[in-house]
């Protein structure tokens, strides 16, 4: 009988955490759809909403296949409270193809894939620094491809 109380307590804690995580993910998905997706225009969204909650000091990588000769738009958008996001696009050998540090931290980049293959989008939220409160928020990484009729 004594085991029933801890199991119930753990179940309740698990449900609360799952609900909180689900709520955060839903907010980030909404952020991706409403804030980041319009930045793809006039490119056609690939249909994937890559969005998550991140805090200062964290980094993440997303692997994506690109096709030779196709024109793409990469959008990385974060909530306003976050500092500028450091974005790097790496090839499969981890060579840097684009680094927004060299372009005033732009969050939208258009490019043509030189080869078919997997590339890595590496994002990093800079550290908060000493004696500062760590801030977190939603980050979205979206891709668009140029419509066939719009090619030059």
For residue range 84-131, what is the model confidence (pLDDT) as tens digits? 999 999 999 999 999 999 999 999 999 999 999 999 999 999 886 766
Tokens 């005033």 locate to: 104
- The dihedrals phi and psi of 145, each to the nearest 5 degrees, come to -120, 145
Decide: helix, strand or coil at residue 40.
Answer: helix
Residue-range domain boundaries for the chain: 4-150
Give the C-alpha separation, 54 to 77, whole Å.
12
Output 43 or 135, whichever has higher pLDDT: 43
Kindly calculate the radius of gyration of the chain based on its CA atoms and give it in whole angstroms.
Answer: 19
CA 39, 51, 47, 67 torsion: positive or negative? Answer: positive
**Under 8 Å between Cβ of 121 and 76:** yes
pLDDT for residue 51: 95
The set of residues, in sequence order, having a beta carbon less than 8 Å from that of 81 and lying 6+ positions away, is 135, 137
**In this predicted structure, what is the pLDDT of residue 149?**
54
Token duo for residue 135 = 């801030």
Taking 80 as the threshold, does the pLDDT of residue 58 lie above it? yes
The whole-number average pLDDT for the span 30-57 is 95
- 3-class SS letters over 6-34: HHHHHHHHHHHHHHHHHHHHHHHHHHHHH
The CATH code belonging to domain 4-150 is 2.60.120.380
pLDDT of 64: 96
- Cα of 92 vs its chain's centroid, Å: 19
Helix (H) or strand (E) holding 4: helix 4-31
Report the candidate in 18, 16, 45, 19 with the shortest Cα–Cα distance to residue 33: 45
């Amino acid at each position: 009988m004594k085991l029933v109380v801890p199991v119930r307590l753990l179940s309740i804690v698990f449900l609360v955490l799952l609900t909180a995580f689900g709520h955060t993910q839903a907010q980030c998905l909404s952020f991706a759809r409403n804030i980041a997706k319009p930045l793809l225009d006039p490119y056609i969204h690939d249909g994937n909403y890559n969005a998550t909650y991140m805090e200062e000091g964290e980094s993440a990588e997303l692997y994506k296949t690109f096709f030779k000769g196709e024109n793409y738009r990469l959008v990385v958008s974060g909530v306003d409270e976050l500092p500028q996001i450091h974005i790097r696009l790496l090839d499969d050998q981890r060579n840097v193809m684009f680094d927004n540090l060299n372009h005033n931290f732009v969050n939208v980049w258009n490019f043509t894939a030189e080869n078919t293959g997997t590339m890595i989008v590496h994002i990093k939220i800079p550290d908060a620094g000493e004696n500062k409160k760590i801030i977190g928020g939603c980050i979205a990484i979206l891709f668009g491809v140029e419509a066939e009729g719009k090619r030059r």
